[in-house]
Chain A
Amino acid sequence: MDAAPPLLPPELVALIADGISAIVGSSDATLRPSIMRAVGSAITPDGATVTVYLARRQSRQLLQNLSSTGRIAVVFTQPHSHRTIQVKSGHVRLRPADASDQPVLQRYLAHMEHEIGLVGFDAAFTRQMLAYDLADLVAVSFEPSDAFDQTPGPRAGGRIGAPSQGGA
């Protein structure tokens, strides 16, 4: 992990760091998929580690799948530009969120109020869409092993960066 070249170019890291829509998926042993929107996200400046925050009460199956199979897919989208990136991994780390996560979550919400506002929804709507109780949140961290450009158009589905084995 330590010597791996960065998968995401700086501009995509910056886009994700800004705080844009994040949808999280996993699957169980019988290949049934699960899905939920994250109420917050973060990325390390080098792009190596992504963290998404999920509310337990809305994501029970998804969290169960993440902890049992470790498989994760996250789509990041900037709503008004349709800019879309999907990252995947086969290994995740789960931990309860705590007070130290609050600044990240608050910054994410502020950016999302702006982003969702650009497509016509007011801040009250966005706050409800991303509502959480800190004690109910789980932080899911992983190192993306695959990344795909999924902006609608001719390049959709194209792989970003060096492919890893067992990619999507």
Chain B
Amino acid sequence: MVGNVSLGSVRACLEGAIPAVMATCSSDGTPNIAYLSQAFYMDERHLALSFQFLNRTRANILSNPWASLLVLHPVTAAYFRLGIRYLRTETEGALFEGMKAQLAGIASHTGMVDVFHLRGADVYEVHCIELLEGNPLPAPAPRGDLLNAVRRTSERLVRCISMEDVLNATLAALNDYLHIQHAMVLMLDSVTERLYTVASCGYATSGVGSEIAMGHGVIGVAAQQRTPVRIMHMTNAYRYSAVTRSSLQEVHPDLALQVDIPWPGLANPRSQIAVPVLSAGRMLGVLFAESPNDLQFTYEDEDVLVAIAGHLGSAMDLAQLTPEWGDSPSDGHGTPPVSGKALQVRHFKANDSVFIDGNYLIKGVAGAIFWKLVQDFTLRQRSEFTNRELRLDPGLGLPDVTDNLEARLLLLQRRLAERGPWIRIEKTGRGRFCLAVQRPLELQESP
């Protein structure tokens, strides 16, 4: 034993560049050696190893829980040997799903897709760690920029006063301080149990409003299990297809309209990471990043993104709580004249989807909000609104406490901006906005 070695200092050895090897011993004393596809850092005292096969190792640890694990640092070639003891096997939940996603990537990378299948996550307690004698190669320069990246991101986020600020600041910080070029923030719709994209950067289309189901791909698994999911070698099993289906066509089979917003993500990502965004114990959404290169996100990037996601969650919650009364909406403040050919706005009650001149705009709560706004605009000549009145409107179906109204308004605002200049949502103050309409609206309601 050379000094005291923390399990954290061995994490680089567990990234899969060089597989760990493990010795176990049967009850008659016969030793056995096995290569491990995956060794997963849990905390300073625990490791999880992938259980894939009913083999000799399996039989041994069930009868004699002691094992000796040998790992190699992928840069310095320093050896570490860990004395570990088998505790239990998990076959569901955050640890299992996180390992399963990662193993799928490893299997794809090593040509073992048909062979590697995670039966369970074997949890081991770490009893001792030895750094073996040797003359290791120079260690890579520590990434001292990471703590600074967290600090700078935090400094940006604490200055934000609206949801839009918070999202812009987060994506800009990822870009500026972590050189992450492709990222998204998705919010959880707690009613439909789906995640919708509310902000993105680095894609050909913003994809704002596109949806991911709980449990689907790294984002859906991260949200469902409330755990970070990181894949260093991408695999088809976790790849998102560009098109996701909607249920509207089941209600209106005759409807030939495009009702889904295409997923904006990379066509051929090689690395992905998804981190749940929580605040006060509630799932708010997911922070997601991807790259066209293998091995892009290390455990250090994961640590940084988890820390940033914590700030992001608090900042989002605070943006929702920002006082929003103050002045009552002042109408007549120069509503611009409406002219030209009428826009046809069609609303489907079945799922609150809205189409403008036959082009899909939005659905769900954001669709219901938009329908209320355009009705008030055409029937009551109103163009100034407050968040508070939306929050109190029983017709919108906003869940009481966790309504994410700011996020839904931002989604609607961005979708409108992408569809052209004729209808816009403009912030006019804290918790206040106006609907700026340049052409007459022709409203049509369908079941």
Contact = CB atoms under 8 A, between A and B. Distances in A.
A is bound by B:
yes
Interface of A: 23-27, 31-37, 57-58, 69, 71-75, 77, 82, 84, 86, 88, 90, 121, 124-125, 128-129, 131, 148, 150, 152-153, 156-157, 166-168
A72 B33 CA distance: 10
A27 B134 CA distance: 24
Contacts of A84: 35
Contact of B137 (A88, A128, A150): A128
Contacts of B72: 37, 129
B67 A33 contact: yes
Contacts of B28: 166
A90 B31 CA distance: 10
A126 B79 CA distance: 13
A145 B77 CA distance: 33
Given A31-B25, A152-B116, 17 more contacts: A25-B31, A25-B33, A26-B31, A33-B25, A33-B66, A34-B31, A35-B69, A37-B21, A58-B79, A71-B31, A82-B110, A88-B31, A152-B53, A152-B112, A152-B115, A167-B30, A168-B32
A23 B70 contact: yes
Contact of A23 (B21, B25, B26, B27): B21
Interface residues of B, number: 41
A57 B21 CA distance: 19
A109 B153 CA distance: 48
Closest 4 CB pairs of A and B: A25-B23, A35-B23, A33-B23, A128-B77
Contacts of B64: 31
Interface string B59-75: 00000101111101000
A146 to B, nearest CB: 9
A168 B137 contact: no
A117 B31 CA distance: 30
B133 interface: yes
A57 B133 contact: yes
A58 B30 contact: no
Nearest to A152: B115
27 contacts: A25-B33, A31-B25, A32-B66, A33-B23, A33-B25, A33-B32, A34-B31, A35-B21, A35-B81, A36-B81, A37-B79, A57-B133, A73-B23, A73-B30, A73-B33, A82-B110, A82-B112, A88-B30, A88-B31, A124-B137, A128-B77, A131-B135, A148-B56, A150-B35, A152-B53, A168-B32, A168-B56
| Interface hub of B24, B27, B30 (most chain A Cβ within 10 A) | B30
B137 to A, nearest CB: 5
A74 B31 CA distance: 9
B29 interface: yes
A167 B158 CA distance: 65
A74 B133 CA distance: 22
B33 to A, nearest CB: 4
Contacts of B115: 152-153
A71 B30 contact: yes
Nearest to A27: B25
B67 to A, nearest CB: 6
Nearest to A157: B55
A37 B137 contact: no
B247 to A, nearest CB: 41
B68 A35 contact: yes
Nearest to A127: B77
A24 B33 CA distance: 7
Interface string B6-34: 00000000000010011111111111111
B262 to A, nearest CB: 36
Given A57-B133, A129-B72, A156-B55, A35 B29 contact: no
Contacts of A58: 79, 132-134
B358 interface: no
B260 to A, nearest CB: 40
A23 B65 CA distance: 20
Nearest to A72: B31
B292 interface: no
Interface string B64-105: 101111101000110101010000000000000000000000
A35 B30 CA distance: 13
